[in-house]
Structure 1
């Protein structure tokens, strides 16, 4: 009888540890999914998001239970708040790469005079090129296994952001600033061919205007610039998306190894 009670006590301890690890993983994964590209968009129903959080929690919690028992994180609201902050940090890191596509699209649209083309279709005001790049980028990320990479990201994050440990605000701010600089640099790199082509075209148009003052170069040059921008967009979009996807997957593999 005593042996049965002892076995039940051991099982109860394991169940308590697993339940607490599940609660910690659920809070962190919920914060990640709330900002995750694709799944965290407002167009996705809340039930789909909840189902994804539950599925990822079932994957992560058994692996996390060993670490929780080893570090002996006591159940508390402070620990749950730290997990929410850690999840928001990871989610913001992924969301910044979507912002890089939006920034690149805004630069491209301004350089090619396409900034006002169907600008009111999307819920968020942005040029049509932004919708094109974001939808294509999300499709590529999903095809590359974004949900699997997200689960790996959560597991790797416990090495840098352990459960139940106070996270440094200064370190998080430094990491965020470095990642913002990296994503803005990526956005400018994606838009650079269009900006350079627009600059060269406008310089040539200015030289023609000085040589032929009577010619209305704006009437001739604006349609040509738009046509050239669309042609360059058709040729360069696959390359731009490949560069963006490679940078995004590199971030998911090493989220805290930021190289400005």
Structure 2
């Protein structure tokens, strides 16, 4: 190769090297985040597909952050950058995963309240779970996809750099406070979704207690158990669309303004 050609390709090689470095830094956070993001990070999705999704989201996020990404620096700085960006991405992804856990918790509470917890299905990750939980999780993920989850996730990734810039250290105190707050909100959301089933179960138990005191000779178990199961299924038929709508609204609100926009 002639010296003239090397001189001509020199700027191009430098630009390519800089672009690859920037893409690598963005991929560290994006790839870790996608490992926990609902739908895109499910265990049933093949690893090659998840890798392709990571590269695709990297290409979307990269132009918005190329000018703010740090350089490699020393090997120690490089190691800290790799670990820090992966930790930040995983933390932001787990915040979204809590919404799936809220659906799972609500489904388990509803199934337990209506004596349907023994009716198992297969969860998104292949683990056994009550059928109500399976339907709620699959319905929630499908609804999120219909409402443009890929666009919301891309915007969420870009906003994560506004909250924690690339190369910045993740504050453990802030992470602990935000994590505890989101866990509390997740359980509150789960209980709100399952509230109709808990209330119906309470009314059922009170009614069965009154009937048992009034007619002790009547075997209310053989009468009440089928009624509870049928009533639970009918209630789930009516309440499931409302539950998913409430969940989707809470999920979309968090995606649009994580942690209330606090840095």
- DSSP-derived class of the 1:134 partner: helix
Is 1:61 equivalent to 2:58 in the alignment?
Answer: no
- DSSP-derived class of the 1:215 partner: coil
Compute the RMSD of aligned alpha carbons. Answer: 2.2
- DSSP-derived class of the 2:258 partner: coil
List runs of 5+ in structure 2 lacking aligned partners. 1-6
Query: 2-side partners of 1:223 and 1:154: how far apart?
Result: 48
Following superposition, the deviation at residue 42 of structure 1 comes to: 1.2
Matched with 1:115 is 117
Is 1:202 equivalent to 2:199 in the alignment?
Answer: no
Runs of 4+ more than 4 Å apart: 5-9, 11-16
Matched with 1:22 is 23
- 1:231 pairs, out of 229, 234, 248, with 234
Is 1:221 equivalent to 2:224 in the alignment?
Answer: yes
- 1:102 pairs, out of 101, 104, 117, with 104
8 A Cα contact 1:112 1:226, kept in partner = yes
Following superposition, the deviation at residue 6 of structure 1 comes to: 11
Q: Residue by residue, what CA displacement relative to the aligned partner does 1:71-110 show, whole Å, maximum 9, x if unpaired?
A: x444412112111011101110111100000000010001
- 2:182 pairs, out of 176, 179, 183, with 179
Distance 1:258 1:105, change over 3 A: farther
Query: 2-side partners of 1:159 and 1:17: how far apart?
Result: 22
Matched with 2:145 is 142
Query: 1-side partners of 2:159 and 2:261: how far apart?
Result: 15
- 1:92 pairs, out of 91, 94, 111, with 94
Query: 2-side partners of 1:169 and 1:121: how far apart?
Result: 36
Matched with 1:156 is 159
8 A Cα contact 1:96 1:183, kept in partner = yes
- Out of 34-43 and 171-180, give the one that drifted further: 34-43
Query: 2-side partners of 1:23 and 1:200: how far apart?
Result: 57
Matched with 1:37 is 38
Following superposition, the deviation at residue 147 of structure 1 comes to: 1.1
Query: 2-side partners of 1:8 and 1:229: how far apart?
Result: 70
8 A Cα contact 1:73 1:163, kept in partner = no
List runs of 5+ in structure 1 lacking aligned partners. none
Aligned residues: 253
8 A Cα contact 1:161 1:167, kept in partner = yes
Question: What TM-score results when the alignment is normalised by the length of structure 1?
Answer: 0.91
- DSSP-derived class of the 1:126 partner: strand
8 A Cα contact 2:95 2:182, kept in partner = yes
Query: 2-side partners of 1:107 and 1:67: how far apart?
Result: 46
